[in-house]
Amino acid sequence: MAFNSGRDSVVPGQLVWVDVHTVMTMDYLGKQCFKAFESLGTDKQLFDKERVICVSDHLVPPPTEQWATMLNEWRAIVKSYDIPNFYDLGRQGIAHQVMVEQGHVLPGKVSIGTDSHANTYGAVGAVGNAIGVTDAAIAMATGKCWFRVPETVKFYIKGTWQPWVMAKDLSLHIMGMMHWNGHLIYKSLEYCGPAIEALDMAGRMTLCNMTVDLGAKNGIIAPDEKTAAYLQPAAKGQWDFIASDDDARYDAVYEVDVTNVGPTVSRPDKLDDVVPVEQVVGTKFNKAFVGTCTNGRTEDFAIMAAILKDKQIHRDVNMICIPASTQVYLECLQKGYIETLVKAGAAFETSSCGPCAGIHTGVAGDGDIVLSAGNRNMKGRMGSKKAQIYLTSPAVVAASAVRGEITDPRTFDV
Amino acid sequence: MIKGKAWVAKTYVMSFEMIIQQYWTSPIDPVENARWVMAGVDEAFNKENGFKDFGYTFIVAGHNFAGGGKSIEHCITGLMGAGIKAVFATSFARLQFRNAINYGMPFITARDMNLGCDTGDELEYDPESGIIRNLTKATQFESVPVAPFVAEVAAEGGLMSFIRKKIADGSIADLH
């Protein structure tokens, strides 16, 4: 924050205008961002058209005439500004996945987006923050965004990851520890320790992604060699390794031994109603969903393919899989995961936010019980208020889908 | 001094219930958004102008008001259009807290006030002192003071006007 606002140092609580590296907006709010931007009186001059990233993710492919028309209006306005980084149907992905995999977020820099899961960018050591149309419009004009410097809470994660345990399980475990009772609201969460260093980039993205659901301002992981290797082919711009100061002050420090974290489930309606999988084993469900900016990555489909190879999804379960981006889709295709999963009885959809926000591509109806690897399970989140959503990891979804009831992947014969 | 009736939330209020899905893509406009604001929060509000017609001036809530994600500013403009002059909560979800600041809508942190108020109570809020009095119950609450920047943005009628003015007078480069 200090570096990006031209200061030597900042203190928590201070309000500063920060230089943003990139501004992301997407199909269903994007047109409004451009219109608001145009009303500011800068003669339609974007601060840097290379750094305004436009993505079609919520509404594609359009399920209704109304949304098809809205998408056309969105495309027209993006084209009128000749935006080079426009990820539209065919080259699309969920915006947060696209921002990271295409190198639009970089360590030590601030990127903002008009969707709450912009926290994902912390996986590469960037500050990722969700903003509304107003902030996006102002940043598009000025390259700046105001921030209140947050207090930081450190999560030191030690121990060894157990088989079939994923970053999602740790994320839900922390949700259960901290609840929605204000401890983490407005805070910056820093994940560190040997179990974080051991985590691949997909896991780091899952972990940072869900910090918004903990109420935090952002989540961040210091960049290391894995980050550098991940960014190397795609990074759009220069960056340096950054780390917290040795004498950094934390509002609180929590330590979690991941050795003791098993597969974890959040029960319907309240994200923080979290239990170890053992407590819900045997619960029947009829829909399974793996996708989203939380768990729609190649590594997620890899673990599912390992579990579902030569197996069949239970007749009473409909499973929908949605890769988080076209690039992820292609990787899964090339590695054979899609073939394995389709043979097992999973349906694949083109990349989008899909039913996670209850918009389309498999929304929940009355009486549905959904086992989802998404990020939110409040009543009505995926469609009907009369549906129930259990949240968990892709490994638990895959193992459970075979039996038609929630299953501990550690007890599953792979 | 602002005076009026309060609606008190019994549980978490989620932004995607304040504005239900079919209105996420509506124009951001107080009059338009007020027609259906809060429609998903309570069955009693689930009709056109359902919330607005109750004539509340304040909302009182517990933790994580307007949480559950969604960047939609319609939550804020909807409340403004429905006549809400301030929301008091133990904590706010940061995204809508930010949106509220940008629109000059007072989202005021007042810890546990929801435990001492009921829907329909008459409240009086003094923005100068931050004191909120419950006239029905003859009690009073303190709130966390508003930051100078927040007050400045509100006085300009929101961040868009604040920035528009700075662009027009050339002082935008001084933003620091």
pLDDT by residue (tens digit) across B55-73? 999 999 999 999 988 889 9
Same domain, A271 and A375: yes
Same domain, A405 and A301: yes
Cross-chain Cβ contact B160/A36 below 8 Å: yes
Same domain, B58 and B80: yes
Same domain, A348 and A390: yes
In this model, does residue A242 exceed pLDDT 90? no
Same domain, B88 and B160: no
Same domain, B133 and B166: no
Quote the radius of gyration of chain B (alpha carbons, Å).
16
Residue-wise burial string across A103-118, b where 16 or more C-beta atoms lie within 10 A, e elsewhere: bbbbbbbbbbbbbbbb
**Which of A321, A276, A271 minimizes the C-alpha distance to A300?**
A321
For residue A2, is it within any domain? no
Task: Note down the domain range covering A214.
Answer: 152-260
From A225, A260, A295, the end of a domain falls on A260
Same domain, A382 and A313: yes
Same domain, A122 and A160: no
What is the total count of domains within chain B?
2
**What's the CATH number where B101 sits?**
3.20.19.10
Residue A1's pLDDT is 84
Same domain, A282 and A404: yes
Same domain, A144 and A203: no
Residue B110's pLDDT is 96
From A242, A260, A278, the end of a domain falls on A260
Residue B113's pLDDT is 97
pLDDT mean over A13-33? 95
**What's the CATH number where A18 sits?**
3.30.499.10
In this model, does residue B46 exceed pLDDT 80? yes
Same domain, A270 and A345: yes
pLDDT band at B22, cuts 50/70/90? confident
Preferred mutation among A147, A180, A269, A382 to probe B, highest tally of B CBs within 10 A: A180
Out of B24, B73, B168, closest to residue A28 by CB: B24
Cross-chain Cβ contact A185/B25 below 8 Å: no
Same domain, B126 and B40: yes
Residue B83's pLDDT is 98
pLDDT mean over A280-306? 98
Same domain, A199 and A271: no
Residue A296's pLDDT is 98
Residue B53's pLDDT is 98
**What's the CATH number where A181 sits?**
3.40.1060.10
Q: Share the mean pLDDT of chain A.
A: 96
Same domain, B78 and B158: no
Same domain, B153 and B139: no
Cα within 13 Å of Cα(A230), Cβ side: 25
Same domain, A390 and A272: yes
The CA distance from B58 to the nearest CA of chain A, in Å, is 22
pLDDT mean over B4-20? 94
Q: A23 near A104, Cβ under 8 Å?
A: no
The CA distance from B79 to the nearest CA of chain A, in Å, is 16
For residue A7, is it within any domain? no
For residue A1, is it within any domain? no
Same domain, A336 and A303: yes
Same domain, B66 and B137: yes
Q: Share the mean pLDDT of chain B.
A: 95
Tokens of A99: 């921002």
In this model, does residue A204 exceed pLDDT 90? yes
For residue A90, is it within any domain? yes
Out of B17, B94, B149, closest to residue A217 by CB: B94
In this model, does residue A3 exceed pLDDT 90? no
Does residue B17 belong to the interface with chain A, where contact is any CB pair within 8 Å? yes
Same domain, B112 and B163: no
Distance of CA A35 to the CA centre of its chain: 27
Same domain, B71 and B21: yes
Percentage of residues of chain B with pLDDT beyond 90: 90
The CA distance from A156 to the nearest CA of chain B, in Å, is 24
Same domain, B109 and B158: no
Tokens of A12: 């928590």
In this model, does residue A398 exceed pLDDT 80? yes
pLDDT band at A183, cuts 50/70/90? confident
pLDDT mean over A178-192? 89
What is the total count of domains within chain A?
3
**Which of B153, B149, B119, B151 minimizes the C-alpha distance to B136?**
B119
pLDDT band at A300, cuts 50/70/90? very high
Phi, psi of A139 (to 5 degrees): -65, -35
Cross-chain Cβ contact B99/A132 below 8 Å: yes
In this model, does residue A414 exceed pLDDT 80? no
pLDDT mean over A184-198? 96
Contacts of B143-146 with CB under 8 Å at 24 or more apart are B143/B88, B143/B108, B143/B109, B143/B110, B144/B108, B144/B109, B144/B110, B146/B106, B146/B108
pLDDT mean over B4-29? 93
Residue B176's pLDDT is 85
Residues of B in contact with A180 (CB under 8 A): 12, 63-64, 67
Same domain, B98 and B39: yes
| Higher-confidence position of A1 and A148 | A148
In this model, does residue A404 exceed pLDDT 90? yes
Residue A180's pLDDT is 75
Same domain, B164 and B101: no
Residue A179's pLDDT is 85
3-class secondary-structure state, position B41:
coil
From A148, A169, A201, the end of a domain falls on A148
pLDDT mean over A317-334? 98
Percentage of residues of chain A with pLDDT beyond 90: 92
Residues of A in contact with B149 (CB under 8 A): 15, 146
Residue B165's pLDDT is 96
Task: Note down the domain range covering B158.
Answer: 146-176
For residue A3, is it within any domain? no
Same domain, A271 and A392: yes
In this model, does residue A256 exceed pLDDT 80? yes
- pLDDT tens-digit profile of B109-128? 999 999 999 999 999 999 99
**Which of A140, A147, A107, A171 minimizes the C-alpha distance to A12?**
A147
The Cα–Cα gap between A196 and A191 comes to 7
For residue A212, is it within any domain? yes
